[in-house]
Amino acid sequence: MRARLERIYTFITGHEPPRPGRSEYKRVWTSLARKEREAKRWVQGTTDDETLDRTAASDLERFKRHLTFDADSDVLEIGCGVGRLGKVFAPCCRTWTGCDVSPNMLKHAQRRLAQFQNVRFVELSGYDLSPIPDNSLDVVYCTVVFMHLSEWDRYNYIVEARRVLKPGGQVYVDNMSLTTETGWQFFESARAIPPQSRPPMVGQTSTPQEFEAYFDRAGFTTRRIDIVDDAWVVGWGVK
Ligand SMILES: C[S@@+](CC[C@H](N)C(=O)[O-])C[C@H]1O[C@@H](n2cnc3c(N)ncnc32)[C@H](O)[C@@H]1O
CATH of domain 26-238: 3.40.50.150
Domain residue limits, the chain = 26-238
Give the pLDDT of residue 6: 62
Q: pLDDT, tens digit, for every residue of 181-231? A: 999 999 999 999 999 899 999 999 999 999 999 999 999 999 999 999 999
Does pTM surpass 0.75? yes
Residue to mutate, 22, 29, 47, ligand 1, most ligand atoms under 8 Å from C-beta: 29
The answer to whether 162 and 173 have CB atoms below 8 angstroms apart is no
In 3D, which of 234, 129, 89 has the Cα closest to residue 173? Answer: 234
Confidence of residue 1 (pLDDT cuts 50, 70, 90): low
- Measure the N-to-C terminal CA separation of the chain; round to a whole number of Å: 47
CA pair distance 223, 237, nearest whole angstrom: 4
Give the pLDDT of residue 7: 66
Nearest CA to ligand 1 atom 27: 81
Whether the per-residue pLDDT at 19 is higher than 90: the answer is: no
Within 6 Å (CB) of ligand 1, which residues are found? 25, 29, 42-44, 78-81, 84-85, 100-102, 105, 124, 126, 143-145, 148-149, 153
